[in-house]
């Protein structure tokens, strides 16, 4: 009898524990379901509110007496008015271009000498090849990239005035009219922009909120890789054995990797401001440099770089320009300024004197004259040391002759606070595999 009672008690205890566990699981499931239902309701309400409050339909552009009805609505987000990129710049008569490769969507427009390049998913944008930051992330709506209307157009030389027309019939929609006038703005870095809320009305917000264009980025890059190239040849023409030649196929593969990995290029002016602590740059920035000014850079590198909207730096030996193949000619240089900027690799000091680089072997007067000549021919401010050779006297001569930065061939990254006349670079060589290339970009040792 006792044994049977004990067994029954144990069974009852087990059932009680199992029941409690089941109840707890059921309660948790119910609470989870309730949470998700509330979340869905809140999301729908937020979406509904946004569609009612943030979108501004029935908008019209007025340019030089012409009116353009926007097919896509304006978007008001955090007090900033966004507009569809293609529609607005097309109405302005701009040349429009779209690039969608490797999951990256880039849009570009050129109007009245102002070039803009924006990208989906980032505040970074280019204005005339200078990398800057938008006040807000440009949204993409139904496949259309939007941009901060006033912020960009004022940099393109336009003044904006926005009005709302109140219809006599209360059932008719309110229409927003944007009047654009030509102006003469200060340079982008110095200019003030006005960001306002058209819903607030001109009386309540006549001047808007004034702020300087953002040129800083968060998060910001701690260092920048500066890559060094020389001569390029198609694989079918390259027999190997030369340490500074890489194949066109390898170069194309490397540029595709940069683009697919989200890298952007900057000018040497941007890099100088980064080194001196005057400007932050976003992560995944790279500077591409080419020494000696070979014609192969024009024939092969130029079209590849242009395809990906990359900028690069040429360091030609100015005394050898126009001399003979394979150097770039003045005509080649003039036709490739949309990709290349040109800085000095000396005028005619790229040779040895008794096993010593001529820049270090000639008299200071000869070196000074050479440096002045090259800088004046190119109108430049940067220098790449021939054979990477320099000393304290060389640096003083560069400073005296108007240069403000110089590049070595010492491997490493460029960081804020570095000596502008001892900047490091990372060489790309025939034996550099794509795996090596990826590694030196982010983890050079």
Tell me which of 155, 181, 211 is where a domain ends.
Answer: 211
Contact of 271 with 131, CB cutoff 8 Å: no
Contact of 374 with 347, CB cutoff 8 Å: yes
Q: Is residue 27 part of a domain?
A: no
Q: What is the CATH number of the domain that holds 137?
A: 3.30.457.10
pLDDT (0 to 100) of residue 365? 97
Q: Per-residue confidence at 77, pLDDT binned at 50, 70, 90? A: confident
Give the span between the Cα atoms of 440 and 413, in whole angstroms.
9
> Is 372 found in the same domain as 299?
yes
> Is 234 found in the same domain as 294?
yes
CA-closest candidate to residue 229, choices 276, 131, 281, 297: 297
pLDDT (0 to 100) of residue 440? 95
Segments forming the whole domain that contains residue 366:
226-442
pLDDT (0 to 100) of residue 197? 38
Strand partners, 426: 227
Q: pLDDT digits over 280-302, tens only?
A: 999 999 999 999 999 999 999 99
> Is 351 found in the same domain as 302?
yes
HSE value, Cβ hemisphere, 13 Å, CA-based, for 65 = 0
> Is 318 found in the same domain as 171?
no
Q: What's the rounded mean pLDDT across residues 103-130? A: 92
pLDDT (0 to 100) of residue 172? 76
pLDDT (0 to 100) of residue 326? 83
Cβ neighbours for 313, distance < 8 A, ≥ 6 positions apart = 268, 287, 288, 289, 290, 340, 341, 342, 343, 382
Q: Is residue 93 part of a domain?
A: yes
pTM over 0.85: no
Q: pLDDT digits over 323-343, tens only?
A: 655 899 999 999 999 999 999
Q: What percent of the chain has pLDDT over 90?
A: 64
Q: Is residue 381 part of a domain?
A: yes
219 pLDDT higher than 70? yes
Give the residue with greater pLDDT, 418 vs 199: 418
Q: Per-residue confidence at 165, pLDDT binned at 50, 70, 90? A: confident
> Is 295 found in the same domain as 184?
no
Q: Is residue 262 part of a domain?
A: yes
Q: Is residue 33 part of a domain?
A: no
Tell me which of 162, 188, 211 is where a domain ends.
Answer: 211
> Is 116 found in the same domain as 150?
yes
Q: Per-residue confidence at 79, pLDDT binned at 50, 70, 90? A: confident
Tell me which of 185, 211, 237 is where a domain ends.
Answer: 211
Q: Is residue 181 part of a domain?
A: yes
pLDDT (0 to 100) of residue 41? 55
Mean pLDDT across the chain: 84
**Total of domains in the chain:** 2
> Is 206 found in the same domain as 235?
no
Q: What is the CATH number of the domain that holds 278?
A: 3.20.20.370
pLDDT (0 to 100) of residue 64? 87
Q: pLDDT digits over 3-44, tens only?
A: 544 544 444 454 455 665 666 666 666 666 666 655 555 555
Give the span between the Cα atoms of 6 and 93, in whole angstroms.
92
Q: Is residue 288 part of a domain?
A: yes
Q: Is residue 3 part of a domain?
A: no
Q: Per-residue confidence at 143, pLDDT binned at 50, 70, 90? A: confident
């Amino acid at each position: 009898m006792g044994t049977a009672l004990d067994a029954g008690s144990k069974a009852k205890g087990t059932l009680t524990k199992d029941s409690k566990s089941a109840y707890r699981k059921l309660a948790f499931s119910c609470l989870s379901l309730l949470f998700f239902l509330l979340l869905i309701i809140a999301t729908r309400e937020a979406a509904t509110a946004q569609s009612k409050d943030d979108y501004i339909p029935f908008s019209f552009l007025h340019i030089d007496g012409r009116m353009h009805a926007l097919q896509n609505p304006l978007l008001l987000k955090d007090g900033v008015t966004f507009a569809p990129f293609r529609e607005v710049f097309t109405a302005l008569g701009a040349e429009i271009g779209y690039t969608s490769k490797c999951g990256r969507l880039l849009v570009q427009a050129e109007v009245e000498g102002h070039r803009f390049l924006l990208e989906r998913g980032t505040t970074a944008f280019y204005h005339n090849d200078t990398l800057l930051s938008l006040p807000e992330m440009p949204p993409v709506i139904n496949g259309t990239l939007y941009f901060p209307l006033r912020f960009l157009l004022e940099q393109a030389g336009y003044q904006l005035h926005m009005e709302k027309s109140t219809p006599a019939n209360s059932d008719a929609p309110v229409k927003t009219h944007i009047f654009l006038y030509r102006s003469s703005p200060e340079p982008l870095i110095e200019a003030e922009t006005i960001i306002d809320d058209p819903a607030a009305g001109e009386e309540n917000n006549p001047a808007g909120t004034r702020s300087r264009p953002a040129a800083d980025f968060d998060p910001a890059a701690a260092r920048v890789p500066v890559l060094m190239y020389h001569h390029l040849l198609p694989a079918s023409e390259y027999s190997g054995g030369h340490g500074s030649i890489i194949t066109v196929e390898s170069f194309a593969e490397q540029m595709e990797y940069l683009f697919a990995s989200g890298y952007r290029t900057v000018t040497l002016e941007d890099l100088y401001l980064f080194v001196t602590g005057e400007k932050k740059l976003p992560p995944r920035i790279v500077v591409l440099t080419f020494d000696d000014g070979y014609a192969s850079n024009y024939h092969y590198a130029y079209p590849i770089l242009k395809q990906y909207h990359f900028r690069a730096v040429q360091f030609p030996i100015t005394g050898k320009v126009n001399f003979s193949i394979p150097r770039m000619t003045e005509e080649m240089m003039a036709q490739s300024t949309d990709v290349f900027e040109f800085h000095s690799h000396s005028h005619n000091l790229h040779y040895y004197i008794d096993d010593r680089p001529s820049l270090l072997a000639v008299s200071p007067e000869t070196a000074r004259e050479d440096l002045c000549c090259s800088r004046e021919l190119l109108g430049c401010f940067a220098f790449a040391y021939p054979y990477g050779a320099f000393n304290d006297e060389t640096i003083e001569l560069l400073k005296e002759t108007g240069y403000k930065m110089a590049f070595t061939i010492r491997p490493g990254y460029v960081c804020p606070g570095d000596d502008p006349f001892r900047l490091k670079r990372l060489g790309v060589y025939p034996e550099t595999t794509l795996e090596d290339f990826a590694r030196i970009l982010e983890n050079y040792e």
